[in-house]
Homo-oligomer: A and B are copies of this chain.
Amino acid sequence: MASFIKLMNSNELLAQIKLKKSFLCVGLDVDLDKIPSHLLKLEDPIFEFNKQIILATHPYVVAYKPNTAFYEAYGIKGWLALQKTIDFLNQNYPKIFTIADAKRGDIGNTSTRYAKAFFEGLNFDALTVAPYMGSDSVEPFLAFKNKITILLALTSNKGGSDFQNLIVNNEALYLKVIKTALTYKNSEQLMFVVGATRPEFFKEVRELIPNYFLLVPGVGAQGGTIDEVCKYGLTKNVGLLINSTRDIIYASSGLDFAEKAKEKAMELQAKMGGYLSEL
């Protein structure tokens, strides 16, 4: 358990976005088969990789998002690396927004356990949550004040359309998920995952939730572009966190990986800065 509970709401995130002229989120999905081989000799290559990526990219970044699957795959060693990574972020960059991309969700008292694990134990600012089990699977996360629950709405993968785009009472399920979630207790602490691979959907989402932040995966390696996302998704209060993972953290597999990651993050930040100056 962390010795303090970090509290960061969307207003503070917005202040950081304006300060850094960036709404870039970097995914920390560490694959030992992809990181530079010189790191593998170190005691904790996963944490070392993250630390160097963070040190190089943090001026251009407002959020980091480790996906828990990559840590769980390495067992206890992976969980220790995740814990060291979030501790490093909280100690050194307490104004950076941290997201555990864990896509959890279970019945009430069990969701509370997940919330405790990520919001208190690991001290993340936010957690991604799957909506399928409904109100009493989501509200236990929302019960944690000053913590953000990021609900999956429209994901960027091919299979996303299996269910998310099905029509229910004349509207797509993902829109119904958003509408229903707005009725949940403490819904003001919600953000939503809306994938970038089909930016035309942003229009409908924005009509429904003009004032909520969207976490947007799928830019870069998965095919979406920042221009398309901004065209439909940007609001007067920004309302976007665009995630990039592979394009940044695996920009190089050599000794220069952190430097190349920095260049790529700068490039994306510059593009985002252009959109912010127009607001």
Alpha-carbon separation in the docked complex, A164 to B173 (Å): 11
Stretch at the interface among A73-81, A206-214, A234-242: A73-81
Is the CB of A233 closer than 8 A to any CB of chain B?
A: no
Cβ contacts under 8 Å, A75 to chain B: 1, 79, 83, 117, 121-122
Contact of A134 with B163 at beta-carbon distance under 8 Å, contacts A69-B104, A117-B69 already known: yes
Q: Which single member of B107, B117, B132, B163 contacts A156 (CB below 8 Å)?
A: B107
Alpha-carbon separation in the docked complex, A78 to B181 (Å): 31
Is the CB of A187 closer than 8 A to any CB of chain B?
A: no
Stretch at the interface among A108-116, A251-259, A263-271: A108-116
Q: Are B163 and A166 in contact (CB under 8 A)?
A: no
Q: Which single member of B106, B138, B164, B168 contacts A166 (CB below 8 Å)?
A: B168
Is the CB of A160 closer than 8 A to any CB of chain B?
A: yes
Shortest beta-carbon distance from A20 to chain B in Å: 27
Alpha-carbon separation in the docked complex, A238 to B169 (Å): 37
Q: How large is the interface on A (under 10, 10 to 19, 20 to 34, 35 or more residues)?
A: 35 or more
Alpha-carbon separation in the docked complex, A130 to B110 (Å): 15
Most chain B C-beta atoms within 10 Å of own C-beta, residue among A29, A116, A132, A133? A132
Cβ contacts under 8 Å, A186 to chain B: none
Contact of A67 with B163 at beta-carbon distance under 8 Å, contacts A1-B75, A155-B133 already known: no
Contact of A159 with B130 at beta-carbon distance under 8 Å, contacts A80-B76, A114-B73 already known: no
Alpha-carbon separation in the docked complex, A75 to B167 (Å): 40
Cβ contacts under 8 Å, A1 to chain B: 75
Q: Are A69 and B111 in contact (CB under 8 A)?
A: yes
- Bitwise interface map of A from 94 to 113 toward B, beta carbon under 8 Å scored 1, else 0: 00000001011111101101
Nearest residue in B to A152 (C-beta to C-beta)? B132
Q: A72-B114, A137-B157, A168-B168 are in contact. List 8 more A-B contacts (CB 8 A).
A: A76-B80, A103-B133, A130-B132, A133-B160, A134-B159, A136-B159, A163-B177, A168-B173
Can you list 15 A-B pairs with a CB-CB distance of less than 8 A? A1-B75, A69-B106, A69-B111, A70-B110, A72-B117, A76-B76, A107-B155, A107-B156, A130-B130, A132-B132, A132-B155, A134-B158, A134-B159, A136-B158, A173-B173
